[in-house]
Each structure stands twice: as structure tokens, then as C-alpha cells.
């Protein structure tokens, strides 16, 4: 028995009682329909066996072909068994990246295909990360990080995305209060160290110290400036009960998260960065913080060095305490400079704090979407690249071609 049906994206059917499902291909579908017709007319077993052999040859699935058939942005090189990002597949302006996806990410994609899980956020993060290979911010000239050096960054990036976080406190609670075994409790308390938004933006964390006092000038009785002093950033409210005479003082708090000011918690004398167009050491929710072109950065995957540091849950576990706050931040992988040697932290050109994960009672003025941040970030990167293209055109044609390739990846709809 042979039954052949056409779905929207697959060819489904049954061969001798066993169902099959293969990606739709017009040639394959027509061939199967011919064999289906022949099967209904077969008079002897030899004819049936010959048809079955032909059907089986048509429905054998090449797993790698199956994977790339489900995603227009993947290409597989069978000779090296490697996957690459491809944009505008099948068109005259088709562009294939020369950097293969690391095996960790390939395994994630395979698992997602097997379980029918959407992995486009990962593909978008990978596409954005490939843009970090450009080194255009210091002199404004288009320059690609050397291939071998960038492959080292790729390995760190894959590890960074694949890292897990175990909530030790939750493990203890599950064991002591819920009666879970150690293994089961650990499994339930294990999370991804960072998350990826639908747009391929990394959701990371930044530990910072809140600035709770501000400076004020002091004056004498004649109005002359005598010095300066610090006063609370958010003065408390003291009140008295008119009946009982009881005096109470309510702690001062900011009304909105965007009203708060933060400074680096670890290295407070590090490289200055911009916030709301002002160069200094201030982090604020709802503002992009970025390094200037003359900033000193560490492009090697080693300890210490310049750059805006940010990381995942394991990172903030190492630096958080009761007096510090944790900013949740958007990071475009295109703005990654390099990785801290322990893998928990990355150095970036810019980050965007979107909330403070403590103090839920303090509200936000606005809702910050990763899609808006990605658009703003890529527009800024595109402007820098366009300026860099002008410089590179004065040099070699090969560099201009590479510029155009990178621009096509940047502008792709992925």
C-alpha cells in the first residue's frame, strides 16, 4: 500500500503501513504520485517490491538537508559538515558567511528541529554577533578582525550562550521543604545563564551601586557660597499624628526607575563612558550607555582590561550584595568586544539598562522593547559602516566587496 499526500511544507504518506514525512519538493512529489498510481495497478510481488525500493529511495531523509530546508538562513557544507549563515538564499545577491556555526549551536539547532522548537532567536543572535567582527569604531575605517582571532571569539560566544546557572538557594529549599532529591532539585533549579529575545538581543545583567546622595552648595547669611555638602537624593518625609503626637519618618524613594542614578560597583575609576550624551561613570535605566571612539578596550579574551562589562546570572552571583542593585540590560551581540577569560562576562561597546530587578514597587515610566533597541542599535551601526565604506573605497576593491557583503548581512531581514 502506498498513500501520498501533499501538505503545506511537507509530503506525507504511508508505505506498507508505515507513515513517512519529508520536506516538500515538487519533483519528489510528482515522482511519488506516479509510483502511487503504479502501486494501485501492480499485479505481482516483484512489481510491488520494485516500486517500494523506488519509494524508499525518494523518502530517505538527509538530516542536514532537512535542517537547511526548514530555515532559509542556513547552508550546510557536506564536505566539512559545517553550517553557515546565508542571506538572500538562491538570489543573485546571496551572501554566505565565512564563519561556521560552532558545534554547540549546531547541536542546539538539531535538538530544536527534532522537537519542533523555534530557534530563530538564536539565528538572529548569531547574525548580529557576526557583525561584531567589524572594527570600525576607533578610526572609522572598515577593518575585519583576523579570521583565527574571531574564531576564538566564536568559541567564547558559544560557551556564553550555552552556560547554565544553578540557583543553590532554590536547590536547598526544594530539598528541605518539598522533599526533592538532590538530582531532581538541581534539575528544577537550573536555568540558562542568559536569555535571547525574539530579535536576537541578549538579556544580561549589570551590578551597580546606586547613588543615594547628591551635592548641594552651601551659603552664608549674605548669600555667598561657602562650600558644598551632600544631601539625600530622595529626602524622607517626616510626619506627626495630630492626635497622638507620634512622629514617623518615611524613607525617601524615587518615583520611577528612570529617576535613579547608578555608578560602577567594581571598578569605579575605569574607562569613562557616555550616558545620555554625557561622558562619565553613570548608568541609568532607559538610556544607552556606550564607549567613545577614544576608549581603551581589551579585544583579547583575557582577564581585566577596558570595556563595559556585563554578564549572566553566574556573573552577578559573584559581585552582588545587599547594598548593590542589578540592572537588567539589552545587549546587541554586534557590540561585543571580547570575553572575560572565565567566560561569565563580556566586554561590550554599549548596553541598554531596561529595569532594576530589585525594588518592584518602583515603577517604570516607559516599557522598553528589545525590538526598538535592536533597531536603534543597528541604525547606529549602519551609520558608522556607511562612513567607513567611504574610507575603504579609497583602498582596495576587495575591501569594498567585503564591506558590501557585511552591509547585506546587516540589512537582511533576519
pLDDT digit string, tens, across residues 335-392: 999 998 777 789 999 999 999 998 888 999 999 999 999 999 988 888 887 777 666 5
Give the C-alpha separation, 71 to 267, whole Å. 44
Closest Cα to residue 99, out of 70, 77, 118?
77
Sign of the four-CA dihedral 105, 110, 115, 117: positive
Ranges of H-type helices in 8-146: 26-41, 45-59, 63-69, 103-115, 120-130
Strand 18-23 relative to strand 74-77, pairing: unpaired
Give the C-alpha separation, 114 to 105, whole Å. 14
pLDDT at 135: 75
Query: 163 CB contacts (<8 Å, ≥6 apart)?
Result: 192, 193, 194, 312, 314, 343, 344
For residue 367, how many C-alpha atoms fall within 13 Å in the half-sphere facing its CB? Answer: 2
pLDDT at 353: 97
Angstrom CA distances, 204 to 85, 176, 208, 313, 354, stand at 24, 31, 13, 8, 10
By residue count, the chain amounts to 414
Give the C-alpha separation, 370 to 232, whole Å. 34
pTM listed for this prediction: 0.80
Give the tens place of pLDDT for each residue, 1-22.
788 898 777 888 888 888 888 7
β-bridge mates for residue 268, sequence order: none
Angstrom CA distances, 186 to 84, 165, 316, stand at 35, 10, 19
Pair 298, 153: CB distance under 8 Å: no
Pair 119, 161: CB distance under 8 Å: no
Instruction: Give Rg (Cα) of the chain.
Output: 29
Angstrom CA distances, 33 to 41, 54, 94, 361, 387, stand at 13, 12, 33, 64, 56
Distance of alpha carbon 396 from the chain centroid:
33
The C-alpha angle 142, 132, 407, rounded to 5 degrees, equals 55
Residue whose C-alpha cell reads 522598553 in the numeric block: 368
pLDDT at 401: 47
pLDDT at 404: 57
Give the tens place of pLDDT for each residue, 64-78.
877 887 788 888 888
Closest Cα to residue 275, out of 327, 335, 352?
352
Please list the ranges in the chain whose pLDDT falls under 50. Answer: 396-401
Here the cell at position 102 is 560552532
Pair 265, 208: CB distance under 8 Å: yes
Ranges of H-type helices in 131-240: 147-162, 168-178, 182-188
pLDDT at 392: 59
Here the cell at position 338 is 571580547
β-bridge mates for residue 153, sequence order: none
Amino acid at each position: 500500500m502506498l498513500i501520498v499526500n501533499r501538505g503545506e511544507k511537507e509530503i506525507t504518506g504511508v508505505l506498507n503501513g508505515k507513515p513517512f514525512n519529508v520536506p516538500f519538493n515538487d519533483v519528489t512529489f510528482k515522482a511519488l504520485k506516479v509510483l502511487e498510481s503504479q502501486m494501485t495497478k501492480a499485479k505481482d510481488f516483484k512489481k510491488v517490491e520494485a516500486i517500494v525500493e523506488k519509494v524508499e529511495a525518494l523518502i530517505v531523509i538527509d538530516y542536514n538537508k532537512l535542517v537547511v530546508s526548514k530555515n532559509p538562513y542556513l547552508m550546510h557544507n557536506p564536505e566539512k559538515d559545517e553550517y553557515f549563515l546565508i542571506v538572500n538564499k538562491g538570489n543573485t545577491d546571496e551572501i554566505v558567511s565565512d564563519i561556521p556555526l560552532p558545534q554547540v549551536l549546531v547541536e542546539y539547532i538539531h535538538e530544536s528541529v527534532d522537537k519542533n522548537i523555534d530557534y530563530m532567536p538564536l539565528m538572529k543572535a548569531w547574525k548580529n554577533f557576526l557583525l561584531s567582527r567589524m572594527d570600525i569604531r576607533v578610526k572609522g575605517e572598515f577593518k575585519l578582525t583576523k579570521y583565527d582571532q574571531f574564531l576564538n571569539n566564536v568559541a567564547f560566544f558559544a560557551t556564553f550562550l550555552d552556560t547554565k546557572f544553578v540557583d543553590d538557594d532554590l536547590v536547598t529549599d526544594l530539598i528541605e521543604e518539598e522533599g526533592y532529591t538532590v538530582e531532581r532539585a538541581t534539575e528544577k533549579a537550573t536555568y540558562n545563564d542568559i536569555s535571547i529575545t525574539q530579535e536576537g538581543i541578549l538579556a544580561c545583567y549589570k551590578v551597580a551601586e546606586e547613588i543615594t546622595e547628591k551635592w548641594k552648595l552651601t551659603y552664608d547669611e549674605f548669600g555667598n557660597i561657602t562650600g558644598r555638602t551632600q544631601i539625600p537624593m530622595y529626602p524622607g518625609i517626616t510626619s506627626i499624628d495630630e492626635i497622638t503626637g507620634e512622629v514617623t519618618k518615611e524613607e525617601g524613594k524615587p518615583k520611577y526607575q528612570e529617576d535613579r542614578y547608578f555608578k560602577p560597583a567594581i571598578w569605579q575609576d575605569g574607562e569613562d563612558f557616555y550616558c545620555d550624551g554625557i561622558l562619565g561613570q553613570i548608568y541609568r535605566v532607559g538610556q544607552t550607555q556606550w564607549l567613545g571612539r577614544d576608549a581603551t578596550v581589551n579585544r583579547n579574551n583575557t582577564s581585566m582590561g577596558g570595556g563595559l562589562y556585563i554578564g549572566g546570572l553566574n556573573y552577578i552571583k559573584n559581585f552582588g550584595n545587599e547594598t548593590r542593585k542589578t540592572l537588567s540590560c539589552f545587549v546587541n551581540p554586534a557590540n561585543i568586544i571580547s570575553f572575560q577569560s572565565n567566560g561569565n562576562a563580556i566586554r561590550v561597546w554599549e548596553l541598554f539598562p531596561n529595569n532594576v530587578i530589585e525594588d518592584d514597587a518602583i515603577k517604570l515610566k516607559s516599557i522598553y522593547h528589545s525590538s526598538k533597541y535592536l533597531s536603534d542599535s543597528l541604525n547606529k551601526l549602519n551609520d558608522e559602516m556607511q562612513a567607513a565604506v567611504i574610507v575603504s573605497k579609497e583602498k582596495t576593491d576587495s575591501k569594498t566587496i567585503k564591506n558590501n557583503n557585511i552591509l547585506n548581512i546587516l540589512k537582511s531581514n533576519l
